Amino acid sequence: MTQARTDWIYLDDEIERERLAQAMREIRQQMRQAAELRSGPQLESAYEAQFAGWSIAALLSHLNASDTLGRWQLQAALVGIRPQWDEGKLHRLNRWQQRFFQRTPLEKTFARIDAHCPQLCEFIHRLPLKKLSTPVWLVATQEWSTVERAAQTFFLHHWQEHLAQISAPSAAAQPIPPKSTESED
């Protein structure tokens, strides 16, 4: 994250966990709508480099892959594995994803996102209350966070950043490289 967040959700009860899960579902739906709008009715421009060399297809696949990597990082932290990756690994992974996912079929990516979101929401609901303050290394900012905040950084804030990126009226004219989740190293 490049700026301080003030919109943290405290995950100490089921109502707040569902609030985060609902926000996760909504941001994915908003991203889908923005991607479809930006790509046109036949999704023809979904595979064109529009955002510092990233296609919409690559960006959505990157987000879905980042969700998996973020969940793995949180699961590792919960059992005491907390590697401190350097930012260079993050940048290498992002460059690889940019090329690898460039022409990923958008409909398949939408289906994967739709299937993955309920799993992430269930994961949020099952986080152990006693372990919410467990340390997690955030690669993108090179700092420690907590499981509670890292889950929001990975599964919500990362999506919000990219939604703002592709929704901006001048997004294609002034591309911004994707900000990756911390777990992608």
Domain chopping of the chain, boundaries:
14-184
pLDDT of residue 170: 57
The answer on pLDDT for 16 being more than 60 is yes
- Fold (topology level) of 14-184: Four Helix Bundle (Hemerythrin (Met), subunit A) (1.20.120)
Residues 28-58 pLDDT 10s: 999 999 888 877 666 667 877 787 778 888 8
Q: Output the pLDDT for position 3.
A: 53
Q: Which residue has better confidence, 11 or 48? A: 11
What is the pTM for the complete model shown?
A: 0.84
Instruction: Look at residue 80 and tell me whether its pLDDT is greater than 90.
Output: yes
The percentage of residues in the chain with a pLDDT greater than 90, rounded to a whole number, is 54
Q: What is the total residue count of the chain?
A: 185
Question: How would DSSP label each residue in 111-169?
Answer: HHHHHHHHHHHHHHHHS-GGGTT-EEEETTTTEEEEHHHHHHIIIIIHHHHHHHHHHST
Backbone angles phi, psi at 134, to 5 degrees: -60, 135
Contact 58, 98 (CB under 8 A): yes
